[in-house]
Structure 1
Amino acid sequence: MNISNQTTEQEDETKSLWRYVSKLRKTHGGGNNMIKCSFCDFSFNGSYTRVRAHLLRITGGGVRICANVTPSKLVEFKKLDNEASLKIEYSKKKKVHLPHVSDEGKQTNNNDLNPKLKGSLQAAFNIQARDTLDCEVARMFYSSGLPFHLAISPYYRSAFSFAANTSNLSGYVPPTYNKLRGPLLSKERRHVENLLQPIRNSWNQKGVTIVSDGWSDPQRRPLINFMAITESGPMFLKSVDGSGEIKDKYFIVKHMRDAIMEVEPKNVVQIITDNASVCKATVMLKRFRSLKKGLQEMVTSNEWSSYKEDNVDSAQFVKETLLNDNWWMKVDYILAFTTPIYYVLRKTDTDMATLHLVYEMWDSMIKNVKKVIYHHERKTKAEYSSFFEVVKLILTDRWTKSSTSLHCLTHSLNPRYYSHEWLSEDSHRVAPHLDKELTQERKKCFIRYFDDANVRRQVNIEFANFSDGREDFSDVDSLRDRGQMDAKSWWIVHGVHAPTLQKIALKLLGQPCSSSCCESN
């Protein structure tokens, strides 16, 4: 007669390979059973030691190895076996019997209270039981190495509050290891997915930006995060472990394709991959500049001589540099002309909707960098600056590599850039439909968006009416609100007369232009 294949939870935790065999019957001699492998149907007599040797393909274990265990399955079994070994080691840690709370309390100032009053307080507020629970919770933190900031978690506090204030939970036992990693984890996942469903439902209307970025976890594993971003906020899709993989374009494309299929291609507006960390140098220089006084005091102190003994030349060079006013003027100059660049990078390095702002930021950035450099070189606007041309070339090359037609189209759909307020700020500004580059890139986008020439013609008519303030876009409120309302609100209020263009605008005006939310921090 077969015996049950179910084992106790403790046996499952420390002998995880039992689940891959069947116990046929008890046999004479210790805790041995007649066992049948679920992979190769081989039957043998023994205990868990032989089960382990059979499935992990360990020779010399008194049983033949399983020929049907594949390499991938063997890796899985070894992982389970290692986890079980760790549990066994951990279980060897005996509970330390510390003094009872009642004994500890004798050392407190409670002895100063009137015995009758102290007894009444303890009875009314159950002080001793509360102190005991506090100590038990604290020991859980200390013995398990739990971080103290866990105590700030609202879920930590609500869990204990619910247990303490629910009268019918007498005899309650916390969930076990297996329950936490199994059914409870699945249940919580379903709960989170239900919470995220409203965001998923908005993808078709609002559009989605899929972003990916790489980072390394505490075990130094190279991970790549994939997230879906809408104006409702970022939503985690998956994390890919790149250990042992060649992280070339084919590897990224494969996983990006999977992310697109999960979101559905019709909902995807754009894809943004790993952003280079281009702000670090400026940030470090800003911090270095703020320490000027402290650095100068350091190299002029008596203690500085102790550093000179190690490398006299280097120490002298550092001292002369830090005390040189001309050198600090150069630092100030570098910070001055890189500040506009830093501002744009910081402004766009977010999961907020900034796609419709990038093109104007780029133009303003170039103008502000030129202004600082020309002021420093004491040049007029008509003069030539070789240094500015080098900086501009570098920035232009960066812009060319990272900009897309979507930047131009989204800029063209921002009603603010057609308003009298914006155009009058600078005499050189022109509305987007009068800009040659913007027009060319906008047309490219429309051709890709709309294969049907008739539909594309209708969209062009809608854009003409919008950009020139014609037809239903010519009313006073529509024209006045261009410079007063945010772009998306304007399209919601006034865009109904251009339904196809409105749908595109509402998607594009809610998109970010950075993958910063994908970073581990």
Structure 2
Amino acid sequence: MRQHTQGKDLVRVGVTRFATIFLTLQSILAALTSLKQMFVSGEWLNSPYSKKPEGEAVACIVFDNQFAQRAAEIVKVSEPLVRVLRLVDGDKTPMGYLYEAMDRAKESIKNYYKGDRLKFDPIWEIVDRRWNNQLHQPIHAAGYFLNPRFRFGGSYSDSNGEVMEGLSTCIERMVPDGEERDLIVSELQNYEGGRGKLFSSELARRGRTTQTPDAWWQNWGGNTPHLKKFALRVLCQPCSSSNCERNWSLFEAIHTKKRSKLAQKRLNDLVYVQYNLRLRVKKVEELEGGPIDLDDIDPYSDWTS
């Protein structure tokens, strides 16, 4: 097979488990012509695998035009959702972007089917069921509102009041003091209207698209200190447990049978050093240097699980 696919494998080792099936299907589609050539080659026909039921079944799948069409459709429909997973599982803090990213993913699916509700509605129902039951939380709506890139962008929308409801819920949950809540609400008016020396400055307006949301609040939220503190708490929250899971993987890799007698402090120190070395290799200082671009997330790039 590798002779026909220029040395490439269909299953890409090392990618996160969230996207393995998607990436494998995409690899099969890209290599479909080469795979067809392999199954008509003399080497395959003379191979004992070509006479086995499994070999014949795989060959039939490769030459099935309906398989190719449906696989292409699955990849196209799944790609926007994989972009969201890639965003959540990345190194940056995407709290201010997740709400918008999900909306864009659903719109991409709708546009693929050219607005045909009979085709995109069943997929939307699956996405909404998973999003509403397991993933969607008020803090995602609050992050969307507090991201100046979207709040002051032309695509901002809250027609059903879901965003403001999420923001209100977050304020009630995260700020127990009633007086501080009132101060946050009063300062929201300045933020929404872009009023005040800092919010209305040219640098602040330009920074909405050139800075990360947390950096923007750190630089330009001085006139609304209570809202600034709340915004930073929201926007700096992680959207997944990926970093914790990577820590656990390091623990398992270091605490082996041969090294099972490691003292807890030494084990913690080794994990700390290993994890920070990985961050250095990935050049986190470059990854965190600018805002997230939702249009520039590569769903085909490998990322560690």
Query: What TM-score, normalized by structure 2, do the two folds share?
Result: 0.67
1:307 aligns with 2:32: no
Tell whether the 8 Å contact from 1:465 to 1:471 is kept in structure 2 after alignment.
Answer: yes
1:453 aligned residue (159, 168, 178): 178
Question: Who wins on radius of gyration, i.e. which is larger?
Answer: 1
1:481-513 deviation line (CA, Å, top 9, x unaligned): 333433222212210111111112223323331
**Shift of residue 348, structure 1, vs aligned partner:** 1.7
Tell whether the 8 Å contact from 1:417 to 1:431 is kept in structure 2 after alignment.
Answer: no
1:286 aligned residue (5, 26, 36): 26
- Provide the residue aligned with 1:395 in structure 2: 127
Tell whether the 8 Å contact from 2:93 to 2:235 is kept in structure 1 after alignment.
Answer: yes
Q: Distance in 2 between matches of 1:278 and 1:292?
A: 23
Report the residue type matching 2:142 in the other structure: L
1:466 aligns with 2:191: yes
- Provide the residue aligned with 1:218 in structure 2: none
Q: Distance in 2 between matches of 1:325 and 1:501?
A: 57
Counterpart of 1:482 in 2: which secondary structure?
Answer: helix
* Bigger RCO of structures 1 and 2 (CA < 8 A, at least 6 apart): 2
Report the residue type matching 1:449 in the other structure: M
Counterpart of 1:454 in 2: which secondary structure?
Answer: helix
**Shift of residue 468, structure 1, vs aligned partner:** 1.8
Counterpart of 1:447 in 2: which secondary structure?
Answer: helix
Report the residue type matching 1:450 in the other structure: V
Q: Distance in 1 between matches of 2:237 and 2:191?
A: 21
**Shift of residue 356, structure 1, vs aligned partner:** 1.0
Q: Higher helix fraction: Structure 1 or Structure 2? A: 2
Q: Higher strand fraction: Structure 1 or Structure 2? A: 1
Tell whether the 8 Å contact from 2:89 to 2:242 is kept in structure 1 after alignment.
Answer: yes
Tell whether the 8 Å contact from 2:180 to 2:226 is kept in structure 1 after alignment.
Answer: no
Tell whether the 8 Å contact from 1:351 to 1:514 is kept in structure 2 after alignment.
Answer: no
- Provide the residue aligned with 2:104 in structure 1: 364
Tell whether the 8 Å contact from 2:217 to 2:232 is kept in structure 1 after alignment.
Answer: yes
1:339 aligned residue (79, 98, 102): 79
Report the residue type matching 1:417 in the other structure: F
Tell whether the 8 Å contact from 1:350 to 1:514 is kept in structure 2 after alignment.
Answer: no
Query: What TM-score, normalized by structure 1, do the two folds share?
Result: 0.41
- Provide the residue aligned with 2:9 in structure 1: none
Q: Distance in 1 between matches of 2:35 and 2:180?
A: 66
1:313-343 deviation line (CA, Å, top 9, x unaligned): x544432331233432222222112111111
2:222 aligned residue (483, 491, 496): 496
Structure 2 unaligned residues grouped into runs of 5+: 1-15, 250-304
**Shift of residue 346, structure 1, vs aligned partner:** 1.2
Q: Distance in 1 between matches of 2:51 and 2:118?
A: 43
Structure 1 unaligned residues grouped into runs of 5+: 1-275, 375-380, 424-428
**Shift of residue 475, structure 1, vs aligned partner:** 4.0
- Provide the residue aligned with 1:439 in structure 2: 164
- Provide the residue aligned with 1:405 in structure 2: 138
Root-mean-square deviation (Å): 2.3
Q: Identity of paired residues, percent?
A: 25
Tell whether the 8 Å contact from 1:356 to 1:414 is kept in structure 2 after alignment.
Answer: yes
